[in-house]
Amino acid sequence: MKIAVITGGLSTERDVAISSGARIADALRSKGHNVVLVDVFMGFDSNISPEKLFNDNADLIKNNGVAEFIPDLQAVRASRSDKSDCFLGKNVIKICREADITFFALHGGEGENGQLQAAFDILGLKYTGSGYLGAALAMDKGITKALCTLHRVTTPRGEIFNNPEDAAEWNTFPCVIKPCSGGSSVGIAKAENREELEDAVKDAFSYEKEIVIEEFIKGREFSVGVLGDQVLPPVEIIPTTGFYDYKAKYQAGLTIEECPAKITAQEDKTLRDAAYEAFKVLHLTSYARIDFILTEEGEAYCLEANTLPGMTPTSLLPQEAAAIGIDYPTLCEKIVELSLKKYN
């Protein structure tokens, strides 16, 4: 099969996406597929035919791993040869047209909010993961919270804010402040008092024009992957630094991840049932990862859904799959197979 893996992009999670994309491409090649890896924003400035690129299993992007801090997106924009504002780089669509399916190794921004999915639908191109509706619903933490509440999937009480003045009136502490559509914990902070709230709100609004503030739920943090109709074993996330931020997520040694998690059979069932219910409520397909806080009383609070989960060396979904005997290359191939089903 010819598979285009598109990665990079222009979100704060660009480096994470590139690390995921490089590993996915290698894994699919190990399964015998012809794979082209390309940066969706930078594109490929050459007249080499897409057919030859697939025959050569071409890597059209340099992978430097995930740095300690988020990338300089202004520098990325400035480095593009054609200086265009178009999200899709030169020859990206040509490469994807040659492919049997495109693997979206993207995180955040246009790659995960439904816009790229909708564009591919219009162009008649097949891609991995949920469709545009599920991607859009899950990307917006405010909408996710509203839908979970409507369908009785337990989630922390919270509100959406469009300006710092209104956000400053929040009066329940401790609380958690999040950009509405961000990922990888970029811009997320916990506030114990009003002074910390003001600083966190200012930081969150520097990333987006809309933020969510929600009550802090004390408990253990878990993530649960879903592959089609199969719910994977929960993984427990234990940051050694006290908070699961961007640095803790992607720098080795800063987080302890236990998979399968050391929980009771009832806690396992509670998390898996809640994950699958959230998966359905948000109109997700193929695969996703749902994040939770589990309280001492055994109640699972849904935090968010990730429609294109990380696939880096430290990512959670591959660990969960490995716990039931699905190795990394097989996981990548299974995602392709599940994604093709939505076109039948």
Residue 118 lies in a domain: yes
What mean pLDDT comes out for the span 208-217? 93
211 pLDDT higher than 60: yes
- Mind listing the pLDDT tens digit for each residue in 258-310? 999 999 999 999 999 999 999 999 999 999 999 999 999 999 999 999 999 98
Whether 187 and 222 map to the same domain: the answer is no
φ and ψ of 61, to 5 deg: -155, 150
- pLDDT at position 31, please? 98
Whether 178 and 263 map to the same domain: the answer is no
User: Where does the pLDDT of residue 16 fall: very low under 50, low under 70, confident under 90, or very high at 90 and above?
Assistant: confident
**In which domain, by residue range, is 328 found?**
218-341
- pLDDT at position 129, please? 97
Whether 245 and 325 map to the same domain: the answer is yes
- pLDDT at position 193, please? 95
Alpha carbons 23 and 313: distance in angstroms, whole number: 8
Confirm if 258 and 236 have CB atoms less than 8 A apart: yes
Whether 69 and 166 map to the same domain: the answer is no
- pLDDT at position 185, please? 62
Query: At 252, is the secondary structure helix, strand, or coil?
Result: coil
Whether 276 and 179 map to the same domain: the answer is no
Residue 12 lies in a domain: yes
Whether 281 and 299 map to the same domain: the answer is yes
- pLDDT at position 232, please? 98
Residue 147 lies in a domain: no
Residue 140 lies in a domain: no
Give the type of residue at 133: L
Whether 178 and 88 map to the same domain: the answer is no
Which of these three, 127, 145, 167, is where a domain ends? 127
Neighbour-count burial of 152, counting CB atoms closer than 10 A to its CB (0-12 exposed, 13-18 middle, 19+ buried):
exposed
Whether 166 and 192 map to the same domain: the answer is yes
φ and ψ of 212, to 5 deg: -120, 135
- pLDDT at position 26, please? 96
- pLDDT at position 288, please? 98
What is each CA distance from 141 to 25, 160, 177, 178, 223, in whole angstroms? 30, 9, 11, 8, 16
Residue 138 lies in a domain: no
Whether 333 and 284 map to the same domain: the answer is yes
Helices 132-139 and 115-123, axial angle in degrees (round to 10): 170
250 pLDDT higher than 50: no
Q: What is the DSSP letter of 233?
A: P
Query: At 305, is the secondary structure helix, strand, or coil?
Result: strand
Confirm if 74 and 40 have CB atoms less than 8 A apart: no
Buried-exposed string 185-223: b where 16+ CB fall within 10 A, e elsewhere: bbbbbbbeeeebbeebbebbbebbebbbbbeebebbbbb
Neighbour-count burial of 229, counting CB atoms closer than 10 A to its CB (0-12 exposed, 13-18 middle, 19+ buried):
exposed
- pLDDT at position 221, please? 96
Which of these three, 215, 237, 253, is where a domain ends? 215
Whether 206 and 239 map to the same domain: the answer is no
Q: Is the peptide bond before 71 cis (omega within 30 degrees of 0)?
A: no
Q: Which helix (H) or strand (E) holds 289?
A: strand 287-294
CATH of residue 163's domain is 3.30.1490.20
314 pLDDT higher than 60: yes
Alpha helices in the chain (DSSP H): 14-30, 50-55, 73-78, 92-98, 115-123, 132-139, 141-150, 164-167, 194-205, 246-250, 265-281, 316-322, 328-341
Query: At 247, is the secondary structure helix, strand, or coil?
Result: helix
Whether 6 and 123 map to the same domain: the answer is yes
Confirm if 44 and 38 have CB atoms less than 8 A apart: yes
- Mind listing the pLDDT tens digit for each residue in 162-182? 999 999 899 999 999 998 876
Residue 172 lies in a domain: yes
Whether 328 and 229 map to the same domain: the answer is yes
Residue 145 lies in a domain: no
183 pLDDT higher than 60: no
CATH of residue 106's domain is 3.40.50.20
Which of these three, 198, 215, 232, is where a domain ends? 215
Give the type of residue at 259: C
- pLDDT at position 241, please? 67
Residue 106 lies in a domain: yes
- pLDDT at position 300, please? 98
36-40, 123-127, 313-317: range with lowest mean pLDDT: 313-317
147: its two tokens: 């839908």
196: its two tokens: 């910390």
User: Where does the pLDDT of residue 65 fall: very low under 50, low under 70, confident under 90, or very high at 90 and above?
Assistant: low
Number of domains in the chain: 3
Alpha helices in 140-256 (DSSP H): 141-150, 164-167, 194-205, 246-250
CATH of residue 245's domain is 3.30.470.20
Pick 37 or 241 by higher pLDDT: 37
Residue 226's beta-bridge partner residues?
231, 288
